[in-house]
Structure 1
């Protein structure tokens, strides 16, 4: 289903939806950030002077922008909703929970590494036998038992109840300098929740694993800048599912082939996109992507409206893989900078797009019917620059492999300086957004920026990455990539549940390590990816046969050779060293698929002679306080 129109009252469009009651309470709760408000307003009185009046209006605008908020549904029944905003200056979150909760029931919200309520850091709201509310900072052990923290870092601001609706607001610092507390970092956060019957005599000894519990993923530390205004001629188009009967399975990926509106026969600039979630499906729709189908403009593609992995899906639709938009739960709209737009349409641009929706149905409900999708905003008034999308990382090849039963094995892909030197303009390109990507075993991804052997600030990092939570994220600071710079992406994989080697490739049970970087101005550089040079990989297989009696052979293919190796601890370490040190085969590719002129085989890995120091914590000296675990 495609619906569209012209954007009319663009000033009324908000960056996120919120009920009026929730918004009123949230604004009330922002009093906790009085320092910021006082800095904005300064308690000045506006007289009749036009200058003072304009100044007051400007100050009010600044304060309104400071109150930008985000929303996330926590549970499948949409009974628990989280609203939050970020104060980067104070390094704190202000959050409101709106709960449908019987009187005296308790509720816990917190954080853990992978969404478990064991080894979690939680704020627990509970009532004692006298009906008095308490908000306590607590943590759980490896069995899920609750212990109250000696240092309470869950600061209650407001609490209101009306019938079964409970709303409370609290603040939490990013880093509390408490060894039992989770450090909120840029990237994916696994939010855990639990609830049960009250009142309670005390909190200690409560076991969250035996209570109703769950988790959601979110990026809490979001980009807080205001999106640029819409051009006057902005139109919008909805790419929606049409009354999909969602299977009663926990995870469903649903794909639907759609076409762009007819006016995309001429080039347009996409300036913004956002989720269009059907009411009642807020907890069902986990993430969505919209792909362009790279087919000849006059080729008619076969229709499809069904599970993405179905064997009946037509093979020509495999060309629908260029990402136009990617959204995940809790993500705000993504707006491109005022000077650039994502090019779409034109005489040689296929009109076909594929909508992919990930439905998360843990309660296995059979009655969900959904028509959610993505809305894009576009303009004929072309901006000064086209947005380009640069793909960096590892080639999609079985030359890269991850041994089985590994808690943390690393693969690294390189966009080397030799490629950017021949492919980028002298003034460089401006990186504005990025999407990190692995498949099922990826759990950590980061991208380093290198210039002349010296490491510059990272482009992106997600230390709690999940393939089930992928979105295009605006960079909080634009990054200038110059000719001769290098980008180095590293992915960490966990294969403890896999008895066999995992190979690189396109399949969901194979692995990838890539980032899709949105930048301007668009250049002809489309792919900058690496793999180990084939000759050195064959030398590794021969070494394994000669010195470790592995049944590897030149007559076998790469996949079979990897599968022939006994993955002892020594052999795993050896493969890791081979990947770190051996020369590269590079894809330094133009939009046509042809490589840029140059010699791209046997290239050395990027050497970082001057790495950045690990991030420091702004904490007093405390014995036993762990440092941030941030791999370099």
Structure 2
């Protein structure tokens, strides 16, 4: 469940809209400005309390009063007549805090360009926020991340965010080694983590598909998969999304390779989902997909709150970030 602020002039009126997510394309004109996350919740999350020095800006004479509430339901049996009273409550003060806080979404783009082969005890999904994006979007002193909400769907077993600066790995920004989609806490970090211009954030989801017979694709449904981290930080910037996917061109190159050299029923004439579903996920084909993901050029979503990418950089075809000095795993002593 997400609440988006509509970033329009305060005197502009927006039309009402109530409809399913897939009908956004038919939504009234003007609602495309409703992209700035000001509140989010998932199963298991407790309320988020901001630090004393920061708060989410809401209201004021030049602030649009329009918001959009988006809720993802799971009703596989299509039960009728179910009434929902869910919502999000904001506690506000007229006393402004020192910093305006924002929400930054990192990880993998919501798209079927990512896939999880069936029958695997471990499969990693990895999304990138590259240095080129943080360079053009963050202030010189960087931002301080004070809370984090890790999010995957039903195949997720472990998830964490790695943090790199000048090729050197710093401590994980957040980690959950025992992830449950039914307990998705918004975790206040013990200490705020500084992210500077040029830093790289790599979000990893460790998934299990042992009980599945068919390929799982990225998407919005609970039976699809996601891999993201909603980071709460200050001071607020124009950066709203820093997520990646493989380029469509390179993905169809992979499908062509599978057809020509491995006799799979992939084709340039069918969609991405159908191509993935046409592959026999033998151990060899699983390894070929893993190798492709490890090396494929990236399509970066380095987006402002209005949905537009930051200008001045070619965001299509970016290389996977390299690491010169990985960090040794932190010791986790057992308490007797």
- The question of 1:602 aligning with 2:314 is answered no
CA–CA distance in structure 1, aligned partners of residues 27 and 163 of structure 2: 38
Shift, 1:490, TM fit: 0.6
SS of 2:185's partner is coil
Is the Cα–Cα contact under 8 Å of residues 320 and 354 in structure 1 kept in the other structure?
no
User: Which of 535, 553, 563 is matched with 2:277 structurally?
Assistant: 563
CA–CA distance in structure 2, aligned partners of residues 301 and 402 of structure 1: 38
Write out aligned runs for 1:404-553 (5 A).
404-553=118-267
Change in CA separation of 1:355 and 1:557 when aligned onto 2, cut-off 3 Å: closer
Structure ID, larger Rg: 1
Match of 2:79 in 1: none
SS of 2:121's partner is coil
SS of 1:547's partner is helix
SS of 2:224's partner is coil
Match of 2:80 in 1: none
TM-score (norm 1): 0.46
Change in CA separation of 1:559 and 1:371 when aligned onto 2, cut-off 3 Å: closer
Change in CA separation of 1:353 and 1:345 when aligned onto 2, cut-off 3 Å: farther
Write out aligned runs for 1:59-74 (5 A).
none
Shift, 1:583, TM fit: 1.6
Shift, 1:520, TM fit: 0.6
Q: What CA deviation, in whole Å up to 9, does each residue of 1:558-580 have, x standing for no partner?
A: 11111111100111111112111
RMSD: 3.1
Match of 1:292 in 2: 4
Is the Cα–Cα contact under 8 Å of residues 584 and 602 in structure 1 kept in the other structure?
yes
Shift, 1:593, TM fit: 1.6
Is the Cα–Cα contact under 8 Å of residues 536 and 583 in structure 1 kept in the other structure?
yes
With a CA cutoff of 8 Å and minimum separation of 6, indicate the structure with the bigger relative contact order. Answer: 2
CA–CA distance in structure 2, aligned partners of residues 327 and 538 of structure 1: 34
Q: What CA deviation, in whole Å up to 9, does each residue of 1:140-181 have, x standing for no partner?
A: xxxxxxxxxxxxxxxxxxxxxxxxxxxxxxxxxxxxxxxxxx
Is the Cα–Cα contact under 8 Å of residues 417 and 486 in structure 1 kept in the other structure?
yes
CA–CA distance in structure 2, aligned partners of residues 479 and 489 of structure 1: 15
CA–CA distance in structure 1, aligned partners of residues 278 and 36 of structure 2: 33
CA–CA distance in structure 2, aligned partners of residues 475 and 577 of structure 1: 34
Write out aligned runs for 1:214-229 (5 A).
none
Match of 2:78 in 1: none
- The question of 1:588 aligning with 2:302 is answered yes
Is the Cα–Cα contact under 8 Å of residues 433 and 519 in structure 1 kept in the other structure?
yes
CA–CA distance in structure 2, aligned partners of residues 510 and 496 of structure 1: 15
Match of 1:612 in 2: 327
Change in CA separation of 1:527 and 1:292 when aligned onto 2, cut-off 3 Å: closer
SS of 1:498's partner is coil
Shift, 1:486, TM fit: 0.4
SS of 1:413's partner is strand
Shift, 1:511, TM fit: 1.4
Match of 2:37 in 1: 322
SS of 1:379's partner is coil
Is the Cα–Cα contact under 8 Å of residues 395 and 530 in structure 1 kept in the other structure?
yes
CA–CA distance in structure 2, aligned partners of residues 408 and 323 of structure 1: 34
Change in CA separation of 1:572 and 1:290 when aligned onto 2, cut-off 3 Å: closer
Is the Cα–Cα contact under 8 Å of residues 35 and 305 in structure 2 kept in the other structure?
no
Shift, 1:439, TM fit: 1.9
Q: What CA deviation, in whole Å up to 9, does each residue of 1:341-381 have, x standing for no partner?
A: 1122354534446496999xxxxxxxxx9978654321122
Match of 2:98 in 1: 384
Shift, 1:547, TM fit: 1.3
Is the Cα–Cα contact under 8 Å of residues 55 and 100 in structure 2 kept in the other structure?
yes
Listed as ranges, the gaps of 5+ residues in structure 1 are 1-288, 360-368, 621-632
Change in CA separation of 1:618 and 1:518 when aligned onto 2, cut-off 3 Å: closer
Change in CA separation of 1:342 and 1:544 when aligned onto 2, cut-off 3 Å: same
Work out the number of aligned pairs and report it: 316
Match of 1:339 in 2: 53
SS of 2:120's partner is coil
TM-score (norm 2): 0.83
CA–CA distance in structure 2, aligned partners of residues 545 and 328 of structure 1: 41
Shift, 1:582, TM fit: 1.7
Change in CA separation of 1:356 and 1:593 when aligned onto 2, cut-off 3 Å: closer
Listed as ranges, the gaps of 5+ residues in structure 2 are 75-82
Shift, 1:302, TM fit: 5.2
CA–CA distance in structure 2, aligned partners of residues 493 and 522 of structure 1: 32
Shift, 1:298, TM fit: 2.3
- Quick check: which one's strand share is greater? 1
Q: What CA deviation, in whole Å up to 9, does each residue of 1:322-359 have, x standing for no partner?
A: 3514376584x432122211122354534446496999
Match of 1:156 in 2: none
SS of 2:101's partner is strand
Write out aligned runs for 1:168-179 (5 A).
none
Shift, 1:588, TM fit: 1.1
Change in CA separation of 1:388 and 1:370 when aligned onto 2, cut-off 3 Å: closer
